[in-house]
Amino acid sequence: MVSFKRLIALASVVTGVLSQSVAYTDSGINFQGIFETTHGIQYGFVFPPTTATGATAQEFIGEIIVPVVNQWVGLAFGGQMADNLLMVAWPNANNIVFSPRYATGYIQPTPYAGPTVTTLESSVNSTYWKWIFRCQNCTTWDGGSMDTNGGPVFAWVIGLSPVFTPSSPASDFNEHDDFGFWGEITADAHDPNYASYLNIGSSTTTSKSSTTTSKSSTTTSKSSTTTTTTTTTTTSSTKTTTSTTSTTTTPLTSPTPYDYIIIGGGPGGLVSADRLSAAGKKVLLVERGGPSTGETGGTDVPPWANGTSLTRFDIPGEFQAMFSGNTYWFCKDVNSFAGCLVGGGSSINGGLYWYPTDADYSAANGWPTSWTNNFNTYTALLKNRLPSTDNPSPDGIRYLEQTYPVMQSILNPMGYQAGTINNNPNFKDHVYGYSAYNFQEGKRWGPVATYFRTAKTRPNFSYAYWTYATSIARNGSLITGVQTNNTALGPNGFIPLTPKGRVILSAGSFGSPRILFQSGIGPLDQIQLVAANPTAAPFLPPQSQWLTTLPVGYNVQDNPSINLMFTHPSIDAYDNWAPILDDPRPADAAQYLKSQTGVFAGSSPKVNFWQALGGPDGKTRYMQGTVRPGFDSVTTAYPYNASQVFSITVYLSTGVTSRGRIGISSSQLGASILTNPWFTDPNDKATLVNGLQQIINSAKNVPQLTLITPDNTTTLQDYVDNYPPTSLNSNHWVGANSIGKVVDSNLLVNGTSNLFIVDASVIPSLATGNPQGLVMAVAEQGIANILALAGGP
């Protein structure tokens, strides 16, 4: 039985501290509503003038704008579920399906016949769904009514799993995943222009194209925004196109300008946020996703940790569970894994953490001398803020480390030495050690529990979740602000800069190029795709200002990686990590809940190793190995014991010569791999095959060790040749906005005055290890350069 019990349970508790609705404008309508930050949903309402009588007095217009991760949304107009008018809506293909509901108890609400509901405007895209509706006969219902001239409590609920029959308005659905309340100030929600709003359905298109007009006027200067506001007052009482044009731009309060607007809350963005706010700048961070760990407001707690604030993002051992179920934390409009929540990739990744090496910053890797000569200072800052550990359980005991002695048996005969890897970052040839993590106190730590934590304490720092930046507004080379979907931050979501302000693009290897394309920066074919998109095109600058010579999206690298799967009787494959979210081993779960120690204090990788290899072209390339109990997919003709399987993921890192391209694949603007970056140079493949063969040869001499994938029905060469290209992906993308190509040595986008990029995309070549440490160290150095650069705020 589906119920809304939790909704009623808290209603009385929170009433005294409710957030109150505020005025905002969207689609030409002046709403009273709230932007609910946990799920990033905008709720708004407008009522007829107080002089209305009869049926007109019993209706209103409502709006919801919802990130797609929320499969359905419910509203309770009496502040609780039972005996109140409810409204439920969800997207189905390109339409919004809706249904007034009613329930006499805390059970599945059923369709309710009283109201007449009409869609005035709706849209569904890859990130949001939006519904503006007219609700007639909606202010009274069986046994109750709404105070239309006061401040009644409204409630919202959201569901993260789809309704059972999306095409049917009568569909049932699971109990909501979250709920909340607010004070809807209906006394302030009456609008003399109400009648004109009922026509917006027919002017939807006009409204969009009008956004173009508004955007160029707001970007020109602040005074033109004021002009637009004035126009609104004059024209909005008519039902004309002009009315729509001007009202969509109208802020009811002036937006706050910022010295620095940072787009994206991943490792690059969070280091930037902390360093810029520490320097006293007025900083806004916008993040398209929502909270992750408990301290960021996350509430996604695994069932076994119920009653704690330990979310799946806090618990390192939940890493392997990131790839199944409702993976709402991955960006759905990127065709590679990318974290779309605060912390970015660092909130969902394996947590492997390597301090940068000299080679990582070498001229051979594409770095200018100003970086090559100075990076140690900034790496030291990083180490100080976020030290690594290769023994993550706070009780000092190593858990699930059976792979270590097996790897010793393989690697020692090959001339490898054991070491604490991060104690000597430059020693990366024939070395192995326990995997190093950026975890602390048995929890995922990373930039969220360090840089973001301190930034948040400063009054000059603001941040907004669920705020999707689409483009940078500019007049030629001068950036004036950022265009977002968050109408609470500015008119039509436009956020201005202070006169000398700057924008820091930290949206990651896929996100930052897309924003550049949507701002008229990058190869012509990409900007033309934007121009073909009716929603995005209006935000492009005039064609004469396009910067088409910058190779945005080219030169990308990612480590090609190949898995070898072995069995050995000493291994505990940890049930291949399958039950870790819903039904983990009870003793391990209990230990972690008690003291954040044990298996769950670490993620799945247990051993790492490196070796330099000569390629057929005479160039040196490095091989990295990451060893973990369990496996992705075994392909073998051998019988094998699944509880004894472990995997070695073998990457090619520093020295890789292959390059690919990322961009947007169509006018739908999904971020994509356009040219695979793996093995475009056959010397890379030959080198990796050589390294793999050396490991396999040595493994043959280890008693009871069996290579099951590849097995003896295929050669290593065939195995690598037939490896699915997408499985070569290591999620370590760099290079799309390479320093020296797209950005200069201060990370300033060439051809602009005040647009900088601080994320993995500026790194010109692959790091020796997994890249997060390098990304954060680069952010330290990049922000120091930017602060030192003349002309800023």
User: Does 263 engage in binding with ligand 6FA (CB under 6 A)?
Assistant: yes
Residue 187 in contact with residue 151, Cβ under 8 Å?
Answer: yes
Candidates 751, 750, 742, 739; CA nearest to 778 is 739
- Cα separation, 598 vs 396, whole angstroms: 9
Question: Which one, 267 or 298, has the nearer CB to ligand 6FA?
Answer: 267
- Contact segment (CB under 6 A) with ligand 6FA among 45-53, 212-220, 265-273, 557-565 equals 265-273
| One residue of 232, 349, 422, 636 binding ligand 6FA per CB under 6 A | 349
HEC assignment per residue over 613-625: EECCCCCEEEEEE
- Cα separation, 762 vs 739, whole angstroms: 5
Q: Is 732 a catalytic residue?
A: yes
Q: Scan residues 764-783 and list those touching ligand 6FA (CB under 6 A).
A: 770-772, 775
- Contact segment (CB under 6 A) with ligand 6FA among 163-171, 351-359, 546-554, 710-718 equals 351-359
Q: Which of helix, strand or coil describes residue 751?
A: coil
Residue 41 in contact with residue 156, Cβ under 8 Å?
Answer: yes
Question: Which one, 644 or 653, has the nearer CB to ligand 6FA?
Answer: 653
User: Does 621 engage in binding with ligand 6FA (CB under 6 A)?
Assistant: no
Question: Which one, 318 or 759, has the nearer CB to ligand 6FA?
Answer: 759
Candidates 574, 572, 686, 711; CA nearest to 636 is 711
Question: Which one, 153 or 607, has the nearer CB to ligand 6FA?
Answer: 607
User: Does 508 engage in binding with ligand 6FA (CB under 6 A)?
Assistant: yes
- Cα separation, 414 vs 433, whole angstroms: 15
User: Does 505 engage in binding with ligand 6FA (CB under 6 A)?
Assistant: no
| One residue of 81, 338, 573, 650 binding ligand 6FA per CB under 6 A | 338
| One residue of 48, 78, 152, 351 binding ligand 6FA per CB under 6 A | 351
- Contact segment (CB under 6 A) with ligand 6FA among 52-60, 170-178, 257-265, 609-617 equals 257-265
User: Does 339 engage in binding with ligand 6FA (CB under 6 A)?
Assistant: yes
Question: Which one, 46 or 757, has the nearer CB to ligand 6FA?
Answer: 757
Amino acid type, 675: T
User: Does 511 engage in binding with ligand 6FA (CB under 6 A)?
Assistant: yes
Question: Which one, 59 or 314, has the nearer CB to ligand 6FA?
Answer: 314
Relative to beta strand 755-757, strand 494-505 is parallel
User: Does 531 engage in binding with ligand 6FA (CB under 6 A)?
Assistant: no
User: Does 340 engage in binding with ligand 6FA (CB under 6 A)?
Assistant: yes
- What is the number of the residue whose Cβ is closest to ligand 6FA? 266
Least Å from the CB of residue 176 to ligand 6FA: 24
Amino acid type, 396: G
Pair of tokens at residue 464: 């907004």
Residues found in the chain: 793
| One residue of 350, 491, 538, 625 binding ligand 6FA per CB under 6 A | 350
Least Å from the CB of residue 468 to ligand 6FA: 5
Residue 445 in contact with residue 439, Cβ under 8 Å?
Answer: yes
User: Does 757 engage in binding with ligand 6FA (CB under 6 A)?
Assistant: no
Q: Is the four-CA dihedral 582, 588, 594, 600 of positive or negative sign?
A: negative
- Contact segment (CB under 6 A) with ligand 6FA among 207-215, 232-240, 300-308, 346-354 equals 346-354
146-165 b/e (C-beta count within 10 Å ≥ 16 → b):
bebeebbbbbbbbbbebbee
Pair of tokens at residue 792: 């800023």
For 559, left (φ over 0), alpha (ψ -120 to 50), or beta?
Answer: beta
User: Does 288 engage in binding with ligand 6FA (CB under 6 A)?
Assistant: yes
Question: Which one is catalytic: 39, 176, 190, 732?
Answer: 732
User: Does 428 engage in binding with ligand 6FA (CB under 6 A)?
Assistant: no
DSSP state of 111: E
Burial class for 430, CB neighbours closer than 10 Å (0-12, 13-18, 19+): middle
Residue 45 in contact with residue 213, Cβ under 8 Å?
Answer: no
- Cα separation, 30 vs 193, whole angstroms: 9
User: Does 283 engage in binding with ligand 6FA (CB under 6 A)?
Assistant: no
Q: What is the DSSP string of 565-589?
A: EEE-TT---GGGGGGGTTS--HHHH
DSSP state of 120: E
Residue 190 in contact with residue 51, Cβ under 8 Å?
Answer: no
Residue 607 in contact with residue 404, Cβ under 8 Å?
Answer: yes
Residue 672 in contact with residue 665, Cβ under 8 Å?
Answer: yes
Least Å from the CB of residue 270 to ligand 6FA: 8
Q: Scan residues 709-738 and list those touching ligand 6FA (CB under 6 A).
A: 731-732
User: Does 410 engage in binding with ligand 6FA (CB under 6 A)?
Assistant: no
Amino acid type, 524: L
Q: Which of helix, strand or coil describes residue 104?
A: coil
- Cα separation, 732 vs 771, whole angstroms: 6
Least Å from the CB of residue 150 to ligand 6FA: 37
User: Does 289 engage in binding with ligand 6FA (CB under 6 A)?
Assistant: yes
| One residue of 67, 266, 520, 629 binding ligand 6FA per CB under 6 A | 266
| One residue of 97, 410, 507, 689 binding ligand 6FA per CB under 6 A | 507
User: Does 493 engage in binding with ligand 6FA (CB under 6 A)?
Assistant: no
- Cα separation, 760 vs 758, whole angstroms: 7
- Cα separation, 641 vs 691, whole angstroms: 27
- Contact segment (CB under 6 A) with ligand 6FA among 129-137, 150-158, 345-353, 402-410 equals 345-353
Number of amino acids touching ligand 6FA (CB under 6 A): 39
Question: Which one, 176 or 732, has the nearer CB to ligand 6FA?
Answer: 732
Site string for ligand 6FA, 448-487 (x = CB under 6 A): --------------------xx------------------
Binding site for ligand 6FA (CB under 6 A): 263-269, 286-289, 337-340, 344-346, 348-353, 468-469, 506-508, 511, 515, 731-732, 759-760, 770-772, 775
Catalytic positions, please? 732
